[in-house]
């Protein structure tokens, strides 16, 4: 299940206006609240209604995040947590199957390696997600290039987002990180 990049939040102390935890997707169960991701941003911004005075969850895309500060240690923690979330998305995205002339293939290093080993064969029967397909040497090379480019695209994306995260001087700078897929 692919994470939605717009659903990253931080737990905040609404009275002290500080960020007190790391960036994360909303937990389904948190303290005495079930279904936290199903609640609106307005409902989770201030959790007094649930018996948690001074606590709330703020979306990192919200301009409201500019009202909150954090320590350098918390900023570093959040940069690393943000990078972990981005890496998880990269892993999911680069593993999505590719389609080639009706054949669906797994997008992973095992498939890439097997295609590399088969590229000199005149013709091969290859087991794909949706059945066996016969590929020529030229098709195997094309498949390899498509798969390799797809996987590299996601590593390049991850590196670009990491570079942007590294330049952030505050959590509010996360608003400027462009991680469009």
Report the domain count for the chain: 2
User: Is residue 64 situated within a structural domain?
Assistant: yes
Whether residue 134 is found in the same domain as residue 114: yes
At 67-107, the pLDDT tens digits run 999 999 999 999 999 999 999 999 998 889 999 999 999 99
At 102-126, the pLDDT tens digits run 999 999 999 999 998 988 889 999 9
Whether residue 64 is found in the same domain as residue 143: no
Whether residue 70 is found in the same domain as residue 88: yes
Number of neighbours of residue 65 by Cβ within 10 angstroms: 20
How close are the terminal C-alpha atoms of the chain, in Å?
Answer: 15
User: Is residue 180 situated within a structural domain?
Assistant: no
Q: Residues near 53 by Cβ (< 8 Å), separated by ≥ 6? A: 15, 47
Whether residue 74 is found in the same domain as residue 161: yes
Enter the pTM of the model.
Answer: 0.81
């Amino acid at each position: 299940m692919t994470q939605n990049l717009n659903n990253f939040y931080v737990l905040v102390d609404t009275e002290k206006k500080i960020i007190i935890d790391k960036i994360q997707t909303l937990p389904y169960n948190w303290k005495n609240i079930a279904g936290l991701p199903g609640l609106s941003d307005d409902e989770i911004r201030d959790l007094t209604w649930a018996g948690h005075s001074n606590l709330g969850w703020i979306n990192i895309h919200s301009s409201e995040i500019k009202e909150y500060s954090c320590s350098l240690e918390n900023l570093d923690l959040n940069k690393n947590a943000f990078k972990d979330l981005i890496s998880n998305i990269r892993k999911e995205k680069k593993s999505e199957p590719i389609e080639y002339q009706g054949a669906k293939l797994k997008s992973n290093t095992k498939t890439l390696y097997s295609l590399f080993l088969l590229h000199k064969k005149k013709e091969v029967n290859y087991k794909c997600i949706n059945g066996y397909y016969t590929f020529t040497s030229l098709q195997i090379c094309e498949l390899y290039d498509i798969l390799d480019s797809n996987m590299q695209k996601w590593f390049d994306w991850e590196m670009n987002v990491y570079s942007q995260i590294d330049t952030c001087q505050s959590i509010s700078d996360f608003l400027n990180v462009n991680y469009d897929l």
